[in-house]
Amino acid sequence: MRAASSKFGLIQGKPGFRDEALEVILVRYHACRPALQDERLRDYVCQPTVWKNPKLKAAGIATAWNRVPDPVWQMVLSWVNERNLKDFFDILAARNNADEGRLAFWSKYLKQITWTRLVFGADTMALKRSNPGIRDLIAREEGAYAQLTSKPEVDAFMMQIGVYLIIEFSKKPNACYVYQADQLPFEPYDRHYEGGTADLAAGYRVGCALRIVHREGWGEKAEIELRQLGIRPDRADAQRAAAAEATASSSGGRTTSSGAASEQGAGPDMAALQTLMTRFRGASITDKRTSASGGRLWVDDPLQRAPLASELKALGFRWANHRQAWYFPES
């Protein structure tokens, strides 16, 4: 969007109006169809000195993203996720000649990736002093990346698709591990990982939803196995349906893309919602629909966990920025 990009100089010259101007530009950009990625807009707004990485919104660090509606934030987040995917394989895995077609493979699922995180090894961190590309990559991920402590030559990449968290590594012979996001053998927001069977590669010993070994012909087999988990390649005309289908499949058919509301249309299946809450410690339900003054059904999650968010969206819940909680809209 050239018109938006051409205004950056004017915005920098009027810092008091910067946030308001960015809000207008981003909302307008989202309203355009198709809303193709604007790299200059992405790079400007995601700077640590501007609105910061949109992945940090859930941590309460990048609060400027609360200025725009959730779909606008998700638009920019998807741009960052796409860049992270390409950076990992083009810059990090490429150093070890370890792409093996993985960038092309995971690009087929790009529209369904809702969260990403880069995990840098010690060698990569050291390269930021001499390699401009690495230095820029680490700077862009400031506050969002993690580090490996025991494998200096290896980097890792986390990405979430539906209710699954997928871990890829930058160097052979590491396999790819697919975990259920609510049953992780590690914390997804830790700052440091050992990188082996104690955390990221725990699936080698204790089992996981899927383990992908990058041998010859691995892509075809992996696509079949991912389909069995409900994860299918993107369809341009049904991005949301594909993501909701993956969520429903992995949760045993308890939810549907239409929201799994009760037959009377008064709200979601409360029994299913109560069961869901038991899987996420600290999350709570507040039902104000029967109060004298009227109200809504709310779900609070202080940790703002992505797996719970996916489940709630499938049940028909929406996010309220002003309260930082999920609510079920009135019929």
Mean pLDDT of successive 10-residue segments in the chain (331 residues)? 54 76 90 75 91 86 91 92 92 83 92 93 94 92 93 95 95 94 92 96 93 93 95 67 40 39 58 83 84 80 80 86 83 51
Q: Same structural domain for residues 222 and 260?
A: no
Q: Same structural domain for residues 298 and 221?
A: no
Q: Same structural domain for residues 154 and 218?
A: yes
- Domain membership flag for residue 2: no
* Pairing state between β 325-328 and 164-169: unpaired
d(CA 125, CA 151): 12
Q: Same structural domain for residues 292 and 194?
A: no
Q: Same structural domain for residues 203 and 270?
A: no
Q: Is the CA virtual torsion 261, 266, 267, 272 positive or negative?
A: negative
d(CA 147, CA 144): 10
User: What pLDDT is recorded for position 213?
Assistant: 95
User: What pLDDT is recorded for position 45?
Assistant: 93
- Domain membership flag for residue 295: yes
Whether this model's pTM surpasses 0.85: no
Q: Same structural domain for residues 170 and 110?
A: yes
Single-letter amino acid, residue 34: P
- Domain membership flag for residue 48: no
User: What pLDDT is recorded for position 302?
Assistant: 80
Q: Same structural domain for residues 318 and 220?
A: no
Counted domains in the chain: 2
User: What pLDDT is recorded for position 181?
Assistant: 92
Distances (CA, A) of 51 to 46, 117, 249, 307: 6, 18, 36, 25
Q: In terms of residue numbers, what domain contains 158?
A: 100-228
Partner residues linked to 159 by β-bridges: 116, 166
In degrees, rounded to 5, the angle at the alpha carbon of residue 58 between the alpha carbons of residues 192 and 21 is 125
User: What pLDDT is recorded for position 248?
Assistant: 42
